[in-house]
Structure 1
Amino acid sequence: MKRQLFIFTIGLTSLHALADNASWYVKPYLGLSSISDQQGTLVQAANNTDITTNTDSGFTSGIALGYQYNAHYSAELGWEYRSSDTDSQLSANDNSYGGNYASSLFFLNGFYHLASSSDWTPYVGAGLAWVQEVDLDLELNGTEQSYSGDGDTGYQLMLGVDYAIGSQWQANAELRYLTIGDIDLQGEENATGELRGFDYDPMTLSVALKYRF
């Protein structure tokens, strides 16, 4: 991951002199996300148990550092946190476990901005995501069991629009689909075994402010 970040930074810097009207920007954002319900297997030494996890809509927040090469092309590197409340059931018992399904992710995205003669500039994008941590908590009667994983990679697709509100400021709205498949989550706090067969595929609608400098 460090090597990828280094290459990304060097690439942006080296293209600065070649870019037309180039600029860096920073983009903090907030959003709402929805994740599909999950079905997997809790693998333990004694036996295997099916698990079903129903997820509610959640929130996401993050920040990105980007580089606008010219009117059409930009790229950004960022980090985000996402969390959704969950209700999980194990086939081995009738208990309903509360908790949440959360993640900390880094991403590298590229964008193509469509030509526009107004303050509105639509764009499309695609990118790669790297999992710092994905975590599922199961809570019952005040006791929490935690399962987490890291190091997985996935991809995402974006559709959005920028609105100019000055020479340096832009408002932003974006719809994004992220998919990371077949995540294995290891037991941590008060938990044993491993959760297998889960995916991480949120759909996110976010709003942001972009400051160009």
Structure 2
Amino acid sequence: MRLVHHIAIIVSVLCFSSIKTEAQNKNQEHKFFLKLYGGGSHVANMNINGQDAELLNSIHIDTKIGFSSGISIGYQWNEKIATVLGWEYKSNSSSTSIDNLEYDGNYASNIIYLDGLYSLYKNDKSTLYTGAGLAMIEEIDLDYETNGSEVSFSESGRIGVHLILAYDYELSRRWILNTELRKSFFSKFDLKEEGGSNQTLVDLKYNPTTLNIGIKYMF
């Protein structure tokens, strides 16, 4: 009888501990998250002008589908709203045409951004959300090779905005698979040649579209 009593006490304690642990786990939500991602980048072709004697004619830049990669950290305020601070690198191969001569090169940027996200739909595993944010170009440059040497034009500090549509799929309580479509908009800007030259490319457009796949870790 005493053995049965002891067993009953042990079972009761174990059951209570299990219920308490489960309740604590439910109440202990993971608010912060870290995301690593990569994907494709698209930048529209453009016609621009030079601003000195060597670059008076119209210049055409033909870009190809490139890649993007980045890292971000975010905070989930509630089921609906989150904020994200991130850094992203985008690179697109390019062909620059000057006076009917083509030069292969690269059009790339580093961007720091701050996003606000809003959940449109959520069930047990999936979340669909939209968002918008501010972005600052840490550096953007256009390179091309001519006569065996590289010519590089760059700029920094430009501010833009972007729109976001994204989807999360919960793999576990901590790991989430993420896909994101992002469209960015920057006002026209000039690129100055590096190395002390006065050559300038004027009125460039940079409104990239990226489609990324990433993994989020909640903590």
CA distance in structure 2 between the partners assigned to 1:87 and 1:120 by the alignment: 41
- For residue 100 of structure 1, report the CA deviation from its aligned partner: 0.6
1:98 aligned counterpart, secondary structure: strand
Q: Trace 1:1-12 onto structure 2 (pairs within 5 A).
A: none
**1:16-38 CA deviation, whole Å, 9 max, x = no partner?**
xxxx9461110010010110001
Please state if 1:82 is matched with 2:82: no
Q: Trace 1:48-59 onto structure 2 (pairs within 5 A).
A: 48-59=56-67
Identity %: 37
Please state if 1:147 is matched with 2:153: yes
Gaps of 5+ in 1: 1-19
Q: How many residues align?
A: 192
Instruction: Give the TM-score taking structure 1 as reference length.
Output: 0.86
2:177 match: 171
Gaps of 5+ in 2: 1-27
What letter corresponds to residue 203 of structure 1 in structure 2? T
RMSD of equivalent CA atoms: 1.7
CA distance in structure 2 between the partners assigned to 1:40 and 1:51 by the alignment: 5
Q: Trace 1:96-115 onto structure 2 (pairs within 5 A).
A: 96-115=102-121
Please state if 1:202 is matched with 2:208: yes
- For residue 190 of structure 1, report the CA deviation from its aligned partner: 8.3
1:99 aligned counterpart, secondary structure: strand
1:114 aligned counterpart, secondary structure: strand
Question: Residue 47 and residue 111 in structure 1: after superposition, are their counterparts in 2 closer, same or farther (change >3 A)?
Answer: closer
Instruction: Give the TM-score taking structure 2 as reference length.
Output: 0.83
Question: Residue 163 and residue 64 in structure 1: after superposition, are their counterparts in 2 closer, same or farther (change >3 A)?
Answer: same
- Structure showing the higher helix proportion among its residues: 2
| Contact 1:144 1:189 (8 Å CA) reproduced | no
**1:74-103 CA deviation, whole Å, 9 max, x = no partner?**
00101011100001111xx23101101000
**1:123-156 CA deviation, whole Å, 9 max, x = no partner?**
0010010011110002124211000001111000
Please state if 1:70 is matched with 2:78: yes
